[in-house]
Amino acid sequence: MDEVTWLNVITVLIALGGVVVAVLSWVVSRGSRSEARRSADAAEVSAKAAQDSAREAAAIAAIERDREHDRLGPGPVTGIALELEPNPRDSGLPETLFGTITVPRDYRVRAVAVRGNSSAPIGLDLLLHAGRPYRFAIEQMHPNRTEPVAEYVLFRFWPPAEIDDVDTWQCPCDRPQADGDNRPGHWEWRAPVEYRRPPTQVFVLR
């Protein structure tokens, strides 16, 4: 085999070696891209799982806060114990309709008597103590009225303030914690004023 032939053989072998190297590089590169894609997919799956776990944990925490909010509240609306306080007989003066409520724990409270879009403040202690009955005037009723004007009493409750001489506590939810005339209550009652004056007994002398 002459020198030219050897040179041609060597040239072919070098070219084939280049092709082999190129093929191997392509295979390695493809494998790296596949591995990178798998890693990216795994990272995306992990991120989505973390987001789902965070949302689930937040939902559970919100449920627990709402449960604690309900537990700390005054409970379901209870009826007001109503009593009409009479005035001297034949005086013609209005009588006073009183209500009484009792709460399960200490609360700050504000209350108004409501009819339609109108309301009137009720003189109730700012701080109510647990288990103690509180009597308050709702309205004055003229002797010729059989039913009160007020349709319901709106009570707004808040946890005690630090300045109150009681053990303070807080609700973990994000509802308003501080009381105020124009602030929504942390808890609210709409207690209906359901009272009807007893009919006047007429005695006929025979």
pLDDT at 4 over 50: no
Q: How far is CA 66 from CA 62, 100, 144, 169, in A?
A: 6, 28, 47, 16
What's the chain's average pLDDT? 80
Q: 61-96: per-residue pLDDT in tens?
A: 778 888 999 999 998 877 788 999 887 766 667 889
* Burial (CB count within 10 angstroms: exposed 0-12, middle 13-18, buried 19+), residue 84: middle
Torsion angle, alpha carbons of 96, 102, 107, 109, to 10: -20
pLDDT at 164 over 80: yes
Nearest Cα residue to 192 out of 81, 73, 89, 35: 81
